């Protein structure tokens, strides 16, 4: 973490459930937060969801307010009550909030209410962009070889050893990434990291992201284009967060644009894709899907996806690595230091138009 000149020692707190604290708060993370002044953890266990705000629990809220009443900065994660305007009114000393593991559209903080009260809000979930981008790349390569099907056949006891001519003719052995077209649905933290990882493959990269700055195309030498153009690439990778705008954005129409022998990868959220429509597209057998997320989760035991030989499945593990959790906290510590040293923070959550506080 960069060393900043702070005007005074800061009081920093972290509200989460026990599992989250155990996963994130390693020695390095605690040292980074403690170096700001003092650091304390508040144990809370409110219901947690990626998509919905925790229900109001007055007892849990009162305990959180008592814990945070003298804090300069508060980190929140799974287990924390939702920080509403009414709660922030009871925390006049609080100047900084970090959403540690939600996303840019987290329901755990009323960002509009915080902005109205002059409280800076950041999210550090870009800390998971490294493993998610790595896994997206791996799933693309697995899909291009349809390696999931080969794995299933081998563990079922089938002897697989083909002559060279047979291998070249087999679509499962005909999928190099080098020089292919790759389409990204979303060009945020994960998308930009993935673009960097794709550079050695000399791929033609296309991205659909209405919010991406145009300069991104020049910086990374990619093409910003429509969703329809992205869906027609050799490899299509979904990276967008789940919002009302993105829910179901990849539907029957979009999936029918997938070209034969292409690969569809989803490491974002299951509900971004119409799963029933995806199953219908996969039944045709001419495309491969590598899926880390589903709708609902966990994937139903009787889902057709479990038995398809043109599908590779993992149980929402893209961002689950040992270094990832502590990275969220060290990034938060760096953002706190930036804020109180008078510098601009890097990962601000901004008020959303049309959302009432």
Residue range 125-171, pLDDT digits in tens: 899 999 999 999 999 999 999 999 989 988 999 887 766 666 666 65
Are residue 90 and residue 147 in the same domain, yes or no?
no
pLDDT for 246 equals 95
Same domain, 166 and 177: yes
The residue-averaged pLDDT of 74-88 equals 96
Q: Is 348:120 a contact under the CB 8 Å cutoff?
A: yes
Mean per-residue pLDDT over the chain, rounded: 93
Place 328 in a pLDDT band, splitting at 50, 70 and 90.
very high
pLDDT tens per residue across span 89-113? 999 999 999 999 875 666 899 999 9
Q: Indicate the DSSP class of residue 348.
A: B
Length of the chain in residues, anyone? Answer: 357
For residue 355, the model assigns a pLDDT of 45
Rounded-to-10 torsion of CA 95, 127, 212, 252: -120
**Can you give the pLDDT at residue 113?**
96
pTM of the model: 0.91
Which CATH number do you get for residue 28?
3.40.50.720
The rounded distance, in Å, linking the Cα atoms of 103 and 318 is 15
User: How many structural domains compose the chain?
Assistant: 2
Same-domain status, 91 and 135: no
Alpha helix (H) residue ranges in 209-323: 215-220, 227-231, 252-255, 275-283
Residue 53: per-residue pLDDT:
75
Q: Can you tell me the mean pLDDT for 313-336? A: 97
279-293 CB burial, b ≥16 within 10 A, e <16? bebbeeeebbbbbbb
Residues 107 and 165 in one domain: no
- Expressed in angstroms, the distance from the first to the final Cα of the chain is 34
Number of CB atoms found within 10 A of residue 354's CB: 6
- Quote the domain boundaries for residue 212: 129-313
């Amino acid at each position: 973490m960069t060393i900043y000149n702070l005007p005074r020692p800061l009081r920093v707190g972290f509200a989460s459930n026990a599992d989250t604290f155990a996963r994130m708060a390693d020695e390095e993370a605690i040292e980074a937060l403690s170096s700001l002044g003092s650091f304390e953890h508040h144990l809370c266990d409110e219901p947690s969801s990626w998509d919905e705000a925790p229900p109001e629990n007055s007892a849990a809220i009162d305990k959180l307010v008592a814990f945070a009443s003298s804090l300069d900065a508060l980190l929140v994660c799974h287990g924390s009550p939702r920080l509403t305007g009414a709660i922030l009114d009871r925390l006049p000393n609080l100047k900084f909030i970090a959403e540690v593991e939600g996303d840019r559209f987290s329901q755990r903080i009323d960002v509009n209410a915080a902005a109205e009260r002059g409280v800076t809000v950041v999210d550090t979930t870009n800390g998971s962009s490294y493993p998610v981008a790595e896994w997206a790349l791996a799933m693309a390569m697995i899909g291009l070889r349809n390696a999931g099907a080969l794995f299933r056949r081998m563990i079922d006891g089938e002897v697989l050893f083909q002559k060279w001519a047979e291998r070249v003719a087999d679509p499962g052995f005909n999928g190099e990434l080098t020089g292919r077209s790759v389409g990204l649905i979303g060009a945020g933290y994960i998308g930009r990291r993935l673009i960097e990882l794709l550079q050695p493959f000399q791929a033609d990269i296309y991205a659909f992201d209405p919010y991406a700055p145009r300069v991104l195309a020049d910086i990374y030498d990619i093409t910003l284009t429509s969703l329809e153009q992205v869906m027609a690439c050799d490899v299509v990778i979904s990276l967008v967060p789940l919002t009302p705008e993105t829910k179901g954005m990849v539907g029957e129409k979009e999936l029918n644009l997938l070209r034969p022998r292409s690969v569809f990868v989803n490491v974002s959220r299951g509900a971004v894709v119409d799963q029933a429509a995806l199953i219908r597209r996969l039944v045709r057998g001419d495309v491969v899907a590598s899926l880390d997320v589903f709708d609902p989760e966990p994937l139903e035991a009787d889902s057709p996806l479990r038995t398809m030989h043109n599908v590779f499945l993992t149980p929402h593990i893209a961002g689950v690595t040992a270094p990832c959790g502590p990275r969220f906290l060290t990034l938060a510590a760096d953002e706190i230091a930036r804020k109180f040293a008078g510098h601009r923070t890097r990962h601000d959550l901004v008020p959303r138009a049309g959302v009432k506080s």
